[in-house]
Amino acid sequence: MMQLTTPDRDGYYMPGEFEPHKGCILIWPRRPGSWPCGAKPAREVFTRVIEAIAQSETVYLAVEEETQDSAGEALTELVADGRVVLFQAQTDDAWARDVGPTFVVSKEDDIEKRKLRCVDWAFNAWGGEYNGLYASWEKDDAFAGVFARAHGIPVYDAHPFVLEGGSIHSDGEGTLLVTETCLLSKGRNPSLTKRQIEEKLMEYLGARKVLWLPCGIYLDETDEHVDNVCAFLKPGEVVLAWTDNREDPQYAMSKACLDYLERETDAKGRHLIVHKLPIPEHPICVKEEDLQGYQFEEGEDVRSVGDRLAASYVNFYFSNDAVVLPAFGEENEESDIRAAQIMQKLCPDRRVIPVPARDILLGGGNIHCITQQIPKGEKG
């Protein structure tokens, strides 16, 4: 049996999301406390996201016995031609980014020769007993290992270190983006110092420098994941969620992130180029009609009328040939168009595919949160 130590010692590292993919993991939604009305509205959006991604990479979709038929019916043609592969795995919810494995690859000059492995973090529903969003998360915590074993990918077990995939972004050249509000929250790894958390990230992701943004998106219930506020477009270049409205609480938060990024350098010593990507002009809040159809369990975070949702266009997914971008519609149609135009200018070699994503946002995240890329590489 192959003896694994840690990714860094074995010469493995986390590549950038903008690098070539082998595929993408999603989980078919069903949880009544996240996806109302039998998850029908959410499944329609998930289908749109899957269709966009499957144009250029294979989608591996986790289903359960009771959800397999609905997934198969929604994606009949894609399943038939192999662009979507259904596999059975039990989960508590559908946030593949946070419960799925983080993939690392070997350091090779030729990308075609890269080897692929997984990191399996501990997951505790974004805060455990301190401020977790639901009371039971054992199935979600097991999912990364289940996926790795089912697909024969060697796995590094990082338990008991708590981390979610949405809380990290890599430039593929040794630099990680994280937020202090998330990684230093008392619900994650309260016994570890900031430096000890950095050491874990370097050990399991092959990083050389961690950039600690002070915060994320206003009222993001994940303790402000970085994937909602800032993302690498390429090494040395990031996109940052922004607003010019000084009356919006997000202004001070984004300004603090900008100030930090402008005075820092990455692992290669480069000053980062920061592109501003404005958030929706009109805040997106929970409406009375949105609450119809939810079934909340005891200990689960609930929604209330008027709650502001953490909407951001930074929560996009890079597929092999596209930017799959959230769109929010209604009074934010102009904001949607502006975001698509900005991303098209910044990513001229990719198509921008806007997907109406309000029904994902109502569940607590967005397109990046429900996806987890599998980098190009062979099992190794």
List active site positions. 369
Half-sphere exposure in the Cβ direction for 263 (13 Å, CA)? 7
3-state secondary structure at position 31: coil
Strand pairing class (230-234; 169-170) = unpaired
| Of 304, 363, 359, nearest in space to 33 by CA | 363
- Answer for the pair 272, 181: CB distance below 8 angstroms, yes or no: no
- Answer for the pair 279, 312: CB distance below 8 angstroms, yes or no: yes
Could you tell me where the DSSP H helices lie in 151-221?
Answer: 180-183, 194-205
Cis amide prior to 160 (ω within 30 degrees): yes
- Answer for the pair 365, 315: CB distance below 8 angstroms, yes or no: yes
DSSP run (H or E) holding 46? helix 40-53
3-state secondary structure at position 334: helix
Six token digits for residue 328: 């929010």
Rg over CA atoms, the chain: 19
Give CA–CA dist 370/366, Å, rounded: 7
CB atoms within 10 A of CB 286: 16
Question: How many residues appear in the chain?
Answer: 380
Give CA–CA dist 128/223, Å, rounded: 12
Give CA–CA dist 255/261, Å, rounded: 10
Half-sphere exposure in the Cβ direction for 60 (13 Å, CA)? 20
